[in-house]
A and B are shown apart, each in its own frame.
Chain A
Amino acid sequence: MAATTTPRAGARTGPARRAPRIRVTPGSAVLYAVAAACALLWLAPLLWAVATSVKPEAETTAVPVRWLTDNPTTQAYASVLARGDLLRWMANSAIISVLVTALTLVLCVLAAYGFAKCRFPGRGWLFAVVVAGILVPPQVLIVPLFAQMGLMGLVDTYWGIALPQVVAPVMVFVLKRFFDGIPAAYEDAARMDGAGPLRVLWSVVLPMSRPVLAAVGIFTFVGAWNNFLWPFVATTDPAMMTLPVGLGTVQGAYGLQYAQTMAAAVISALPLLVVFLFFQRQIVSGIAGVGIKG
């Protein structure tokens, strides 16, 4: 949302006005119509879910298909919330995502700083070993990790779900690359004033790294919130399940009650959609900045 939000009237009056980049020509009218149509098409599944969720249950299976009901109701939402498990899964997801994000940030920032700014014996090969970990798909590890969690007594615990997600070599790589670009002069100045390495990291490096920290934090949080495979493997107790796992696998949770199913989907979609609505710019630049994918 850069400087393109010039007054709308400008577009109407056409080339006479100076500021607007976009002039209304038949071409741009078509462009805008196509863009709006594509966006609506892309939103259609979500709109359909909302439309279904406010129908009385009996109307959801009516043929022919209708988008809008004459008798909108919040009955489906009330039933879903009354069951309670959805809120429980949401709370689990929130706890685990916060845990994963906080730990990832602390561990990866420390490691990236150590690799970028300190010299110690074995630094080169240790970093090479860490970077090689980027190649290991987490999906390969589910079987041995589950056995390991069993031995450690961490099955069906928050720690068991969270800890394996904390190991993110890619984030160490991204952060180190950023720290490398911070001129040593800044740190030298602080060091001259008697600051130790931890102090330099905290009061010199971190304040200069806010964008990359936000990017790593957002990316990690969204990833942990939506992670499916490992939480799915690591939980057997429905009370410990995260939102994607509980919602996706608890059989017959909502049976053939489509209004309730869609109400559950809408409620589950809301937290991150709302966050995305408010922090669109940060999230867009953050994810484009880190540029990696599960």
Chain B
Amino acid sequence: MTTRTSTEDARAPSLPEPPGGTAPRRPASWTGLWFVLPFVACYALFLVWPTLTGLGYSLTDQSLSGAPAGFVGLANWQEALADPNVWSSLRNTLVFTALSVPPLVLVGLGMALLTDRARRLGWFLRFAFFAPFVLPVAVVTLIWVWIYQPGIGLINGTLAALGLGEVNWLTDERFAMLSVVATTTWWTAGFNYLLYLAALQGIPREVHEAAALDGAGSWQRLRGVTLPLLRRTTALVLVLQLVASLKVFDQMYLMTIGLPDAATRPIIQYVYESGFTGFRIGYASAVSYLFFAVVIVASIVQFRLFSRKED
């Protein structure tokens, strides 16, 4: 029964702590249950229950058409593991993750360093770098599909004006994934930027001043002082970004609607198509549990990696 977290939370109000901490030492009563009950009820209904029914569906031939379902054992799982579409879409998700995490983290860090140094432009920089993050995905994809447009789009038009050949950014399999990664970086790097910016602004001035007095140039200060102090933030950003990238669907789906999707169909889109276009709830559930397994494995690996580093 020791789930109480420690009270050393930086964001908690800074008030004198009474000796012995803040542990609720009052006698146990049922009152607390009434407080947690509404949330727990919703949690059970909209999270626990579908998690369990999904697992159940994956063992049946349940369809969206409402026909009675029969138990099929592990047939869906066997089919999924042998389905080339599962593997290719899983591969696309992993490729997207591998390609998108580095630029999303590095661009966020770079923008934060710029904002932290160029303080007089602070307001403008924060607006420019973070604004894309508050845009609905459809706005992002409409704008970028237009920018990537063959012939008349901004990029190809500019390339043509420079006398360069044009690229079919979204239809050419060699570029489609990179184009989606570029759009994603533009759209969501602002989130990592904010986390880095908050961390940078928490570094006391004196640290920089001391390093400067010791004769460290700005590049040395960045490498020797700032980046090491950001290590914890980088760990957090990496964890959040990795899981967020694995969940890719929205922008990839919207940017390539109606295009040959072999190169740009993430695993979640395959779940969607199996369930809602193919009407196979049972099969789609099995595929989504495979995806779930990937996310859990990624989380565990990360957790072990970073908890070792913290020691």
Contact = CB atoms under 8 A, between A and B. Distances in A.
B295 interface: yes
Contacts of A208: 13
A144 B139 contact: no
A38 B124 CA distance: 11
B152 interface: yes
A291 B38 contact: no
Contact of B47 (A1, A64, A136, A292): A136
Q: How big is the A interface, by class?
A: 35 or more
A137 B32 contact: no
Nearest to B115: A35
B96 interface: no
A247 interface: yes
Contacts of A167: 39, 42-43, 46-47
B250 A180 contact: no
16 contacts: A11-B120, A38-B110, A115-B3, A118-B31, A119-B32, A133-B48, A137-B292, A140-B289, A141-B51, A169-B47, A176-B5, A180-B5, A181-B22, A228-B136, A288-B195, A294-B247
Contact of A180 (B7, B124, B146, B281): B7
Contact of A293 (B13, B57, B153, B191): B191
Contact of A133 (B47, B122, B127): B47
A47 B97 CA distance: 29
A42 to B, nearest CB: 5
Contacts of B138: 228, 243-249, 265, 268
Contacts of A127: 3
B24 A117 contact: yes
Contacts of A285: 198
Contacts of B153: 65
Contacts of B47: 133, 136, 141, 167, 169
A34 B110 CA distance: 11
Interface string B128-140: 1111101111110
Contacts of A177: 5, 9
Interface in B20-35: 22-35
B11 A212 contact: yes
A37 B113 CA distance: 15
Interface string A47-73: 011001000000011111100000000
B288 A107 contact: no
A226 B119 contact: no
Nearest to A60: B152
A143 interface: yes
Given A177-B5, A180-B7, A294-B247, A247 B139 contact: yes
Interface string A1-39: 100110000010000000001100001100110111011
A147 B53 contact: yes
A265 B143 contact: yes
B142 A265 contact: yes
Main secondary structure of the interface of B (DSSP, over half): helix
Contacts of B13: 181-182, 208
A147 B281 contact: yes
Nearest to A285: B198
A42 B153 CA distance: 17
Interface in A92-141: 106-108, 110-111, 113-124, 126-130, 133, 135-137, 139-141
A276 interface: yes
Among the interface residues B124, B146, B271, which one has the most CB atoms of the partner chain A within 10 A?
B146
Given A28-B118, A114-B32, A139-B288, 7 more contacts: A36-B124, A42-B111, A135-B295, A139-B268, A183-B15, A197-B32, A229-B249
B222 interface: no
B144 A146 contact: no
B15 A124 contact: no
B197 interface: yes
A241 B16 CA distance: 50
B136 A233 contact: no
B247 A40 contact: no
Contacts of B157: 63-65
Interface string A216-243: 0000001001101100010000000001
A272 interface: yes
Given A42-B132, A258-B146, A183 B22 contact: yes
A111 B40 contact: yes
